Copies of this chain bind each other. A is one copy, B any other.
């Protein structure tokens, strides 16, 4: 009821979540707050706002602070991300003025991008957005730690897709260029022990244990890509896909479309996934069907090309059983 009360409660839960693990007795209180927030922050109350260079500096500064996928390197970098061939949208809640809940960054391009670095280059030429045929969602960031577990991303993607389709009728493809945050950990860990691998790959993985792995050599491209396809389509945590980003987009009804070798050669990209990126495609006509397919038994909707690559991987033991669980 008090002015600023909503912000105070969200802040309280943020503090609270930091050491929830040490205080199991607080789980009930967390559940209460979570239920309250799910009601207060229901999607019908959120307003979708376009973020551009005429937006308040106060809010732009927060995007710089919050951006979690591809860090924003100051105002010059931000300005490039808000040019005519880029779009940015955020959800706001009436009781949290000037505080974005979540935001998404989109690049309007000719053809589907495979390389993150060229999208992010602050010196890249600006495209006339009317000539673009593709909208690439290259970053989506939840801003409020205190709202962890309240999901906004699927609504945001749906609203932004509709909005862009209306504004730029020439767009043919709506797709992400996404990280695979769990690939390297999985491949170097126990879960992938049963994946048959060449001596060269084994050598590379052994050498790539450190915190700053090298770029994988070109002669491993075919084998690593196949293993990566296997990872995205067959590796499981429980019954769900192992990769958290895959879980998110597949649950939204997207299709796993393409794997990009050397798609993100930043040190974060190499560390997370040996430089791979993946495109998930959002086709308005098939979202509901794909969502249902995934909801029933977590079956991954995937392009024929990736599926064939995944099938080519030979597995023994435990990893094989994971595959059979499908």
Interface, chain A (partner B; CB < 8 A) = 1-3, 5-6, 36, 39-40, 42-45, 47, 53-58, 60-61, 74-75, 79, 94-95, 98, 155
Asked whether, in the complex, the Cβ of B43 is within 8 Å of the Cβ of A40, the reply is: no
Q: Work out how many copies of this chain go into the complex.
A: 4
Asked whether, in the complex, the Cβ of B54 is within 8 Å of the Cβ of A3, the reply is: no
Q: How far is the CA of A55 from the CA of B60 in the complex (A)?
A: 11
Contacting residues, chain B, for A1 (C-beta < 8 A): 42-44, 155
Q: How far is the CA of A253 from the CA of B3 in the complex (A)?
A: 21
A307 to chain B, nearest CB (A): 33
Instruction: Report 29 cross-chain contacts, Cβ distance below 8 Å, ordered by A residue.
Output: A1-B42, A1-B43, A1-B44, A1-B155, A2-B44, A6-B45, A36-B39, A39-B39, A39-B40, A40-B40, A40-B42, A40-B45, A45-B45, A45-B95, A47-B94, A53-B56, A53-B57, A53-B58, A54-B56, A54-B57, A54-B98, A55-B57, A56-B56, A56-B57, A57-B57, A57-B75, A57-B79, A74-B75, A94-B94
Q: How far is the CA of A98 from the CA of B79 in the complex (A)?
A: 17
Asked whether, in the complex, the Cβ of A3 is within 8 Å of the Cβ of B44, the reply is: yes
Contacting residues, chain B, for A79 (C-beta < 8 A): 57
Contacting residues, chain B, for A58 (C-beta < 8 A): 53-54
Q: How far is the CA of A55 from the CA of B53 in the complex (A)?
A: 11
Nearest chain B residue, comparing its CB with the CB of A94: B94
Contacting residues, chain B, for A44 (C-beta < 8 A): 1-3, 5-6, 95
Q: How far is the CA of A311 from the CA of B74 in the complex (A)?
A: 54
Q: How far is the CA of A3 from the CA of B74 in the complex (A)?
A: 35
Nearest chain B residue, comparing its CB with the CB of A75: B75
Q: A47-B94, A55-B57 are in contact. List 20 more A-B contacts (CB 8 A).
A: A1-B44, A6-B44, A36-B39, A39-B40, A40-B40, A40-B42, A44-B95, A45-B45, A45-B94, A45-B95, A53-B56, A53-B57, A54-B58, A54-B98, A55-B56, A56-B56, A57-B57, A57-B79, A74-B75, A75-B75
